[in-house]
Chains A and B, each alone.
Chain A
Amino acid sequence: MYAGLWHILPGPWWLRVLILVALAAVVLYALFMYVFPWVSAFIVPQEVTVE
């Protein structure tokens, strides 16, 4: 899977590394800002109120 990704990418090795780093940054941002907050609301119980 990752080997395939490496071969699909164009350019010399350093350009491929740059592209991969940029891709990783995008994925991390999406996880931290959207996916994890959404998941957390379902699976992490945090009750701070009296009721």
Chain B
Amino acid sequence: MDEAATPANAGEVEVGSRARRTRPARRPSVVGVLGEILITLGVVTLLFVAWQLWIGDVIYGAERSAQADEQSDIWQEQYEEQLEASPEATPDATEAPAPTEVTAEPVILPQPADAEIFATMSIPRFGSDYHVNIAGGVTRANTLDPIGIGHYPGTQMPGEIGNFALAAHRTTWGKPFNRIADLHVGDAIVVETPDGWYTYRFRTLEYVQPSAVEVILPVPQAPDVEANGRYITMTSCSPMYSLAERIVAYGLFESFTPRSAGAPASLTGGVA
């Protein structure tokens, strides 16, 4: 790299021909070393850009998906262990997985602690392998960067009357909501908890100012209105790579499928 650097060559002449005969090593010059450090910093900066825009998402995307799959498996194992522990419940469970959709009154979880993983999200429109953990809180440091999707503290829980409000990155950090603008009306948004699956159906997108906290009200954009429906609100950044606005996706609750009934058709049936 420093062959081309004139000061390095000049230094070589100073050392004399003796050094050149014994071994071809040159005494490094200050400018030569500085040049190499600067080139290295330039390469590292380019690597950072590549990581931020591409490589990091590949790494984190795979990691998020694996973590959520693992979480689902743990819940399923816990459920099966519970079944074995209480034999009287077993006959029901073996009958339950019928081809018809089994729905029940949704189980409402308590509010999670900050960074506590309480659910996972699947959206068949984003691919059959799309699976991301949902945890309490919407701070970058605790939830959005290390885990994936965050739940606005104080907003309702899955299946509850009111608004289940979430936030996640649209670019970088595994970009869980990267394709939020690709959702079609009626697309399934499936939230899995230890108790079962909550199916929401996507309704509409909205673009708002970053200060539009009304979108996470119990009835989105409607202050002082008492909720009588079950909504889901997902917020992310808009445009991509910008802080200027927020994109908001709204959905309506459709059904709750208890774990005893197995994964719902909204999850296994693919996209229309």
Minimum distance in angstroms from A16 CB to a CB of chain B: 14
Residue in A4, A37, A40, A50 whose CB lies within 8 Å of B246: A50
B 167-204 to A, binary, CB cutoff 8 A, 1 in contact else 0: 11111110001000000000000000000000000000
Interface size class of A (residues with CB under 8 A): 20 to 34
A-B pairs under 8 A by CB, number: 86
B208, A32: Cβ atoms closer than 8 Å: no
In angstroms, how far is the closest chain B Cβ from the Cβ of A10?
Answer: 14
Question: Is residue B32 within 8 Å, beta carbon to beta carbon, of the partner chain?
Answer: yes
Q: How large is the interface on B (under 10, 10 to 19, 20 to 34, 35 or more residues)?
A: 35 or more
Q: Pick the interface stretch among B76-84, B90-98, B126-134, B140-148.
A: B140-148
Which of these, B26, B56, B140, contacts A36 with CB under 8 Å?
B56
Minimum distance in angstroms from A37 CB to a CB of chain B: 7
CA distance A47 to B209 in the complex (A): 12
Contact (Cβ within 8 A) B211 A50: yes
B48 in contact with A47 (CB, 8 Å) = no
Judged by DSSP, the binding face of B is mixed
A37 to B216, CA, bound (A): 29
Contact of B170 among A1, A32, A48, A51 (CB under 8 A): A48
B15 on interface, CB distance cutoff 8 Å? no
Please tell me if the beta carbons of B177 and A37 are within 8 angstroms of each other in the complex.
no
Docked complex: A14-51 residues within 8 A CB-CB of B: 28, 31-33, 36-37, 39-41, 44-51
Nearest Cβ distance between residue B210 and chain A, in whole angstroms? 6
Residues of B within 8 A of A41 (CB): 140-141, 145
A12 CB to closest chain B CB, in angstroms?
Answer: 15
Q: Any chain A CB within 8 A of the CB of B28?
A: yes
Interface-side segment among B116-124, B235-243, B258-266: B235-243
Report if A3-B2 is in contact (Cβ < 8 Å); known contacts: A32-B51, A44-B172, A48-B235: yes
Listed by A's residue number, 15 A-B pairs whose Cβ atoms lie within 8 Å are: A3-B26, A33-B59, A36-B48, A40-B48, A40-B52, A41-B141, A44-B172, A47-B210, A47-B237, A48-B144, A49-B138, A50-B210, A50-B212, A50-B248, A51-B211
